[in-house]
Amino acid sequence: MDIAVEKKELIKWINSLDNPIVIQQIKNIQKKSAESFDFEKEWAKSITSDELKKSTKEFLKSLPWEK
């Protein structure tokens, strides 16, 4: 489907909305898409591959494996 047609259908649907909760959810999506992605902030929250490997091994060992 052509993007112009999709936009037109979305606009028509949005104009038919009367539920304020749905409208607020659409506004939240719009706000979220407008925010820029802060790579440095996300990078600071990351873990190393060694940390991932260690935590994965610990998690797998904690599971109740039956042979």
Give the model's confidence band at 56: pLDDT under 50 very low, under 70 low, under 90 confident, else very high. Answer: very high
Q: Which long-range contacts (CB under 8 A, 24 or more apart) does 33-40 make?
A: none
Amino acid, single-letter form, for residue 36: S
pLDDT in tens, 18-34: 999 999 999 998 888 77
In a domain, 67, yes or no: no
Give the model's confidence band at 52: pLDDT under 50 very low, under 70 low, under 90 confident, else very high. Answer: very high
Domain containing 48 equals: 3-62
In a domain, 16, yes or no: yes
As for how many domains the chain has, the answer is 1
E strand or H helix at 31: helix 20-34
